[in-house]
Amino acid sequence: MVKVIGLTGGIASGKSTVSSILKSLGAVIIDADVVSREIMIKGTETYNILVSVFGKEILRKDGEIDRRKLGNLVFADKEKLNKLNEITHPEIIKRIKDIIEEERKKGKEKAIVLDAALLIEMKLFNMVDEVWLVVVDKKTQIRRLMKRDNLSYKDALNRIKSQMSIEDKMKYADFIINNCKDFNAIKRQVELLWGRFSK
């Protein structure tokens, strides 16, 4: 049976870097963020529900959902964030389950990686064989997030606070990847973990 690794970490922790290293090593990546974009495409049922709940101000000029506008709206209001999750999470979970099944049927991979920031919050860890958690110190996390998404300190902090704490996530982790140093340091850690599947 092909193993499924759940890859998670706080926002701007370097999870995407780990995901790209794993891809270069031959892993099949299921990106929960890509799945979440797909279920929100104009014309889908989820799209229609989101527009009716949050209004047309979350739309871009071309009619598609502007994820940045939606993000700014929900990350400042816990009730709205809960509502967004209530609408989107069941659809995302269903789609991920289907993709895992499709990949497992092929049976060619050493392991499938489910890359999901909300792996634990959405209980996606129930679908995986082991959880890899990418960690970074708070100061570095804020700095990276402000730079990456062009956010103010306050907005960056709001996004971090809206997520489960790293301490709580650690309780679910089988392996912890420390991303406080440089790229080579994280690459070595990932290669060691991945090496277990290459034997």
pLDDT of residue 99: 94
* 71 among annotated binding-site residues: no
Average pLDDT of the chain to the nearest whole number: 92
146, 191 Cβ separation under 8 angstroms: no
AA identity, residue 39:
I
Residue ranges of domains in the chain: 1-26+109-198, 33-108
Beta strand extents in the chain (DSSP E only): 3-9, 28-31, 111-115, 130-135, 175-178
What's residue 22's pLDDT? Answer: 95
8 annotated as belonging to a binding site for a ligand: no
In the predicted structure, residue 173 carries a pLDDT above the cut 70: yes
- Predicted confidence at residue 130, as pLDDT, reads 96
- Per the CB < 8 A criterion, the answer to whether 149 and 24 are in contact is no
CB count in 10 Å sphere of residue 62 = 7
- Does pLDDT of 198 surpass 70? no
The answer for residues whose C-beta is within 8 angstroms of residue 94's C-beta and 6 or more apart is: none
pLDDT tens digits for 27-69?
Answer: 999 999 999 999 999 999 999 999 999 999 999 999 999 998 9
pLDDT of residue 110: 80
Whether the per-residue pLDDT at 158 is higher than 90: the answer is: no
Written out in words, the top-level CATH class of the domain with range 33-108 is: alpha beta
Classified as helix, coil or strand, 42 is coil
Q: List, edge to edge, every strand of the sheet that includes 130-135.
A: 28-31, 111-115, 3-9, 130-135, 175-178
Q: Which two tokens stand for residue 23?
A: 């891809």
65, β-bridge pairs: 59
- To the question of whether residue 24 is assigned a binding role by annotation, the answer is no
> Which has the higher per-residue pLDDT, 108 or 21?
21
pLDDT at 169 over 90: yes
The answer to pTM > 0.75 is yes
Does residue 43 have a known ligand-binding role?
no
Q: What pLDDT, in 10s, does the model give residues 92-120?
A: 999 999 999 998 888 777 889 999 999 99
Q: Average pLDDT, stretch 178-185?
A: 92
Q: Annotated binding residue at 16?
A: yes
Please tell me whether 69 is known to bind a ligand. no
Estimate the crossing angle of helix 78-106 against helix 45-54, to 10 degrees.
170
DSSP state of 165: P
Given this chain, do its domains 1-26+109-198 and 33-108 carry the same CATH topology?
yes
Residue 199 pLDDT exceeds 80: no
- Residue pair 126/1 in contact by the 8 Å Cβ criterion: no
In CATH, what is the architecture of 1-26+109-198? 3-Layer(aba) Sandwich (3.40)
Indicate the SS3 state at residue 142. Answer: helix
CA neighbours within 13 Å on the CB side: how many for 179?
28
